[in-house]
Structure 1
């Protein structure tokens, strides 16, 4: 980091500016660069900026005045997310081809019906549509075709045939599947029905493997050589607030994270972590379950009948999804992470995530229909928070580690229903339980 950048970070300004039409400071930097098409000098324009969801990004655009060749790309300059992400989209109509996609350079793109895959790091990151991704793949295959036709006409003919199949996908004569798998968690596929659930789009968060961490340049957190020090027992942890150094997720300046083990009445122990940044003022908190995964999943349904319900304490784990049937709304697991807050705080965070932080609600990506739909959603959320609209809040946690305060405890709450259910195979798969073996592994030769 340069001296100027370091001063900017300490001063809270940062080198990444938010795009604003009235801000003269947000100007691209122009650099003279070599054109790889005609080998004459062209120009590259770099813009370091912030956008919702992606946070810090670097947008670069190259143009050559001699041969008119141009190239644009987008690169994430933010932090690698805690979990990888996989988008599986069933493309059923031409409208689906217009969905906007943020594809990081670490993402793998697959079309299973054609047995086609674009490996990670073979393309630069891009902000495009699904049709644009297919066009880019076709252009990449066409690059060396003249040489192939001269050296190996048979291979060239097969590639021509395959490119025709890719081009026919744009007509959507039949349904096909597009999979974008990004271990860094920095890719994104648009949901045109937001804030409602997209039936054609499946979003899966997963824990990275050791190999994926190595590809991303992440160091494994190995604690095998750490010696156990006196006083680190469970009673000490309950009474102490542990502090460890980290970096701010917004400005990347040095910050500190406080961690505390807390006992929730009538529930279990949880770990609360809070990070405060003195440079930019950013604050964040996260909750982790302090216990094991429960044998049964938990579904909590609360009928909101009084404004006082907004003050109920709420623990939402990372594996918990939130549903509001009256709004036809569903928030998938890991979308907001783990939270220990009130019901009002959770609803405000949902509104901010859907309405304010949605990257496709402003600029060229916004449409009047979508903006109107999200505005109506935001007004209904405000009515629910103010107690002007009755609704049901459903917390569905397959791991059984979420909690909603019963104000009548230890007596039953007449407006709250708590159900225990057996997890499906798919839910166990998402939690990583199907491949977990804790008994008899020493006798199993496959674990030797």
Structure 2
């Protein structure tokens, strides 16, 4: 992660190439922060101070933080009036789905949770009927207490003028500011919500990789209004059909270095299951490769829960299709991977477990410089146990829960029953149907409406 103190000091980091040739020589424009880059400095630009209207210095640092994609850190300092300002802007791609973090704050320690809030995210505290609308604040890497402090500072900014022009409004704002400050002491529980249609915000889970009962992460499809707010083109209905005999290719950008790349897409029939669409991207510039799987069929009438008892190293070679709506659980490790994490994958059990291990290791809030020694030891122990499962030294249960019913785990005894594999069908809850967008979906009456319209 990126320490706040380092931002204010103008921390050492990769410089911005001055030309396309320099960018090519340096590799990716957004480079990860590293102790090896100590001699390089951020780009410095002379700019106007909006406090005293004299010239100050803005420092720009283009970097890549693991798990958060690329960001631009800008820090302004004025030597004349000592005014300073720090902002973070997301430079990465907008995610396929929006994300909503709902945190039940019950202790003073919860106020220290790290938060990445982009400028298009909305922050809410329902108990106070308080909301920070999208695009009213710049993106920040801070804590929950820091977000409340910024809100208090914003409300206090014009209070001297209000006390002169409208004393009644000023007194009400003072009262509300007092309530916000009392929240930081956590005398009573309250709820903190961050809703980001771009999907690039984040709230720390201090118990990772274990599940955090106080934190609910919900991924959702953007509405047309939210897509327009983000400047995304609202796509119309797709009339083309993907043929299972052909590989379609279309232009895209590499998710790592943002260079032009090609994505291949093919329809594949999985034996004893259904059709899926596999998309693979290969970047010639940086060598990055990625693949993603989408279900080629409809949402199943029932959800699917698949339980595999890992008893032999050969279980690691089983094929797995994990859809983007599937969550993964390993009870022996008290580990749960939420819906939407890692996206859709078509791989082996070994490959998926290694992806989970890499996801934990790349998270800066778990093993980065924001982590505490106790947390680091705990996570290293978790990774050691996970490696033992991957190597076949430890038996464990592997559980996949997909409300959409579009995930698959290979039955090596097919078409006979697998003694180590258990597949359960269940009725979805209202909340699961809401996450899948089924509660608002209308499939009846279109012909009559069309006839009346004509």
TM-score, length-normalised on structure 2? 0.93
SS at match of 1:56: strand
Instruction: State the partner residue of 1:282.
Output: 288
Conservation of the 8 A alpha-carbon contact between 1:17 and 1:50: yes
In the TM superposition, residue 53 of structure 1 has moved relative to its aligned partner by 1.3
Instruction: State the partner residue of 1:52.
Output: 66
Conservation of the 8 A alpha-carbon contact between 2:208 and 2:366: no
SS at match of 1:360: helix
Q: 1:148 aligns with which of 145, 148, 162?
A: 162
- Tell me whether 1:173 sits opposite 2:190 in the alignment: no
Q: 2:260 aligns with which of 228, 251, 254?
A: 254
Instruction: Write out aligned runs for 1:19-418 (5 A).
Output: 19-24=33-38, 26-223=40-237, 237-354=243-360, 356-418=361-423
Conservation of the 8 A alpha-carbon contact between 2:17 and 2:29: no
Call closer, same or farther: CA 1:137–1:383 in 2, change over 3 Å. same
In the TM superposition, residue 422 of structure 1 has moved relative to its aligned partner by 0.5
SS at match of 2:366: coil
Call closer, same or farther: CA 1:444–1:158 in 2, change over 3 Å. farther
Q: For 1:107 and 1:29, how far apart are their aligned partners in 2?
A: 27
Deviations along 1:343-386, one digit per CA (max 9) or x if unpaired, are: 000000001001x2102135541210111111011101100011
Q: For 2:256 and 2:269, how far apart are their aligned partners in 1?
A: 30
- Tell me whether 1:424 sits opposite 2:410 in the alignment: no
In the TM superposition, residue 4 of structure 1 has moved relative to its aligned partner by 5.4
Does 15-24 or 276-285 show the bigger shift? 15-24
Q: For 1:222 and 1:134, how far apart are their aligned partners in 2?
A: 40
Conservation of the 8 A alpha-carbon contact between 1:85 and 1:182: yes
In the TM superposition, residue 296 of structure 1 has moved relative to its aligned partner by 0.6
Deviations along 1:181-238, one digit per CA (max 9) or x if unpaired, are: 00111110000000000000000011111111111111122257x7x7xxx5x6xx11
Q: For 1:147 and 1:352, how far apart are their aligned partners in 2?
A: 53
Does 189-198 or 65-74 show the bigger shift? 65-74
Cα RMSD, aligned residues only: 1.9
Deviations along 1:69-88, one digit per CA (max 9) or x if unpaired, are: 11111111111111111000
Q: Which ranges of 4 or more aligned residues in structure 1 deviate by more than 6 Å?
A: none
Q: For 1:423 and 1:10, how far apart are their aligned partners in 2?
A: 50
Conservation of the 8 A alpha-carbon contact between 2:275 and 2:296: yes
Q: For 1:123 and 1:85, how far apart are their aligned partners in 2?
A: 18
Q: For 2:177 and 2:413, how far apart are their aligned partners in 1?
A: 65
Q: Unaligned 5+ residue runs, structure 2? A: 1-15
Deviations along 1:104-152, one digit per CA (max 9) or x if unpaired, are: 0000000000000000010000010000000000000011111111111
Deviations along 1:314-341, one digit per CA (max 9) or x if unpaired, are: 1000110000000011101110100000
Q: For 1:138 and 1:144, how far apart are their aligned partners in 2?
A: 11
Conservation of the 8 A alpha-carbon contact between 1:19 and 1:26: no
Conservation of the 8 A alpha-carbon contact between 1:9 and 1:253: no
Does 162-171 or 33-42 show the bigger shift? 33-42
SS at match of 1:174: coil
Deviations along 1:245-296, one digit per CA (max 9) or x if unpaired, are: 1111111111000011000000001000000000011111000011111001
Q: For 1:270 and 1:25, how far apart are their aligned partners in 2?
A: 49
In the TM superposition, residue 13 of structure 1 has moved relative to its aligned partner by 0.4
SS at match of 1:173: coil
Q: For 1:331 and 1:133, how far apart are their aligned partners in 2?
A: 27
Conservation of the 8 A alpha-carbon contact between 2:321 and 2:347: yes
Q: For 2:86 and 2:228, how far apart are their aligned partners in 1?
A: 28
